[in-house]
Chains A and B, each alone.
Chain A
Amino acid sequence: MNAPTYNFAYLDEQTKRMIRRAILKAIAIPGYQVPFASREMPMPYGWGTGGVQVTAAILGPDDVLKVIDQGSDDTTNAISIRKFFGKTAGVATTTSTTDATVIQTRHRIPEASLHAGQVLVYQVPIPEPLRFLEPRETETRRMHALAEYGLMHVKLYEDIARFGHIATAYAYPVKVNARYLMDPSPTPKFDNPKMDNCAALQLFGAGREKRIYAIPPYTTVVSLDFEDHPFTRYRFDAPCALCGADNSYLDEIVTDDKGGRMFVCSDTDFCEQRQAAGHHGTESAAPHKEKAHV
């Protein structure tokens, strides 16, 4: 039998070169979706194959890798991907945002600000921001080529007409470098401002849809809005129950079946660092107190 053997970081070098070329092109044209010949990966399409291919193509032996899913290092898919690179590339892994050189993420941007030299790799399910307004790829590519983005504004207009404000909570569209309309992947719009003028390189990989796009460091990223209905961030108005942070994005945890719930940081590393530094929320400050049931 042909017993399979694998290269460093799984992908063969030819494939890595092909992906790197796509990445370079993406960096040269910020926000433009570069088609690439996405490979079948040993995890299913839709589970981060785009991000994994980008990470595999840029990873070197000295890199320190962090993988998060929903902001957490310890969700099953994050663990699975981290283990994959631990096994196939033998690189050091970390949960610390600051210590990592490459961070692969799904659905969040870390709370701690990123620094120069870091690369943030996003897993992207649907790269095309216009897809649900126009299902045809041939048509959306033409719209990008001609910068015809009126349709996107029609959607935002409709939101305001119907709800009084823009009703897009995540995957909130942005304009990159005043040219291309871009989908930031399904991150909450709370994270959008972190993309603007960011010191780190941001790479986006969509495996199933076979697209790579990028935001080079210190690039302007503007969330779409109207002058009289400006973009606003959203977070649940409560401090984190564990670390007391009042400026982080929160997960809602259902604690019982009687309506009990609490809110904690979605970025687990951020939360743990704060707790280690002596910050406490209501839950962790009083660990012995019985939970109040209604």
Chain B
Amino acid sequence: MYVAVKGGERAIENAHRLLAHERRGDRDVPEVTLAQISEQLALGVDRVMTEGSLYDRELAALAIKQARGDMIEAIFLVRAFRATLPRFGATEPVNTGAMQVRRRISSTFKDVPGGQILGPTFDYTHRLLDPQLAEGFVPEQPMTADASQAATPRVTDILGRDGLIESSPQADSDAAVGDLTREPLSFPADRDLRLQNLARGDEGFLLALGYSTQRGYGRNHPFAGEIRFGEVEVEFSAEDVGFAVPLGSIELTECQMVNQFKGSTTEAPCFTRGYGLAFGQSERKTMSMALVDRALRARELGEEAEAPAQDEEFVMSHSDNVQSTGFVEHLKLPHYVDFQSELGLLRKLRQEFAEANEAVEMQEAAE
């Protein structure tokens, strides 16, 4: 006899227990600590903080551990936690021009005030698996020198002095800071919301879109004007205190792409900007973001907007990996009812098809 399926609750509990067991893995192997993740898998932590929209290394490390290294799952955990946090306000805009730079390169000028600083980078390493790293490797101490007192102005600001690049849009200091996690998004969206969407967007998705612009789908002739990574101060202007209170410092990566613009009837030709910003050291992310940001400005700059990367609604509606993964994975949920409806309809259509064919055959036989 058939009994309607029961025991789902037990099944869920047991599945979660098994998951916890698998997460721990072989119990003879030492458990990974949050400090280990934060220190030794730092770029993963940076990504989870960036796409999770929450600057907290420890929580990001916990999320990575809990997610068994599944980055999108970890981002999801951080986002779900972030969504419950009360919002006190927005910080003062951070000044990346005053960044304590650890890495800073420009591909547009051979030398720039403050110098090119290579910093910690995979660039120019040969991608050969290194067996030394497998265990017990103690790297040499890094070279040190006295910190330079020279200022490191942004390369785009240098171009800006001659009017060769569009001026950086100045935010109206009285205007509310857009936040798509608090207000529903509508199209067309302003650039602040677009940038927020891209900053939270999936690195792989933005990488593919940015790449597509380089291959001709919405080409915008980019140069990496500058990529800088380092620490900036964060200040919060509390209304009752009346002045900005320092909250501490965070690590950021900023990328400013310099793109061609042929001008219009009303504007002289000049370079334009694409902008990328992310927590931690996230160069691939910020470069991709800057390419897509510039592509999304096509309409504003009077360019043809035909490529996917230039389509605001397409890009912004599909960039969020927490949304995408949820909807793709929801296909695992039961769909008995709608499937049953489709099954019923399909049977009916097939029967009608068979009957119609039979009628034709009989008619042909009779003729």
Contacts and interface: CB of A to CB of B under 8 A. Distances in A.
Say if the two chains contact directly (CB < 8 Å).
yes
B349 A75 contact: no
A163 B9 contact: no
B27 interface: no
A71 B56 contact: no
A170 B4 CA distance: 23
A1 B35 CA distance: 12
Contact of A164 (B62, B313, B333, B352): B352
Interface string A114-138: 0000000000010000000000111
Given A37-B180, A208-B327, A210-B184, A169 B345 contact: yes
B337 A107 contact: yes
Given A167-B349, A210-B184, A234-B344, A251 B327 contact: no
Interface residues of B, number: 56
Contacts of B234: none
B39 to A, nearest CB: 16
Contact of A252 (B182, B326, B327, B340): B340
A170 B76 CA distance: 31
B247 interface: no
Q: What is the interface residue range for chain A against chain B?
A: 35 or more
A190 B2 CA distance: 25
A277 B258 CA distance: 76
Nearest to A11: B84
Contacts of B322: 40, 44-45
A36 interface: yes
A16 to B, nearest CB: 12
A241 B84 CA distance: 46
Contacts of A190: 341
In the complex, which of the residues B5, B59, B84, B343 has the most CB atoms of chain A within 10 Å of its own CB atom? B84
Interface in A54-107: 69-72, 74-80, 83, 106-107
A187 B341 CA distance: 9
Contact of A242 (B2, B7, B76, B182): B2
A169 B313 contact: no
Interface in B54-74: 56, 58-59, 62
A39 B340 contact: no
A21 to B, nearest CB: 12
B249 interface: no
Given A12-B86, A40-B322, A236-B344, A137 B187 contact: yes
Interface string B313-339: 100010000110111111001111110
Nearest to B179: A37
B183 interface: yes
Contact of B336 (A4, A36, A70): A70
Given A138-B187, A170-B337, A264 B76 contact: no
Interface of A: 1-2, 4, 6-7, 10-12, 14-15, 18, 35-42, 44-47, 49, 69-72, 74-80, 83, 106-108, 125, 136-138, 163-164, 167, 169-171, 186-190, 208, 210, 234-236, 241-242, 249-253, 255, 262, 264, 266, 268, 271, 283-284, 287
Given A35-B186, A170-B338, 18 more contacts: A7-B84, A35-B185, A44-B330, A45-B330, A75-B334, A78-B8, A79-B9, A83-B9, A137-B187, A167-B349, A170-B337, A186-B335, A186-B338, A188-B341, A210-B184, A250-B340, A251-B340, A266-B337
Interface of B: 1-2, 4-9, 11-12, 56, 58-59, 62, 76, 79-84, 86-87, 180-188, 313, 317, 322-323, 325-330, 333-338, 340-345, 349, 352
6 contacts: A47-B333, A77-B333, A136-B313, A167-B345, A169-B338, A170-B338
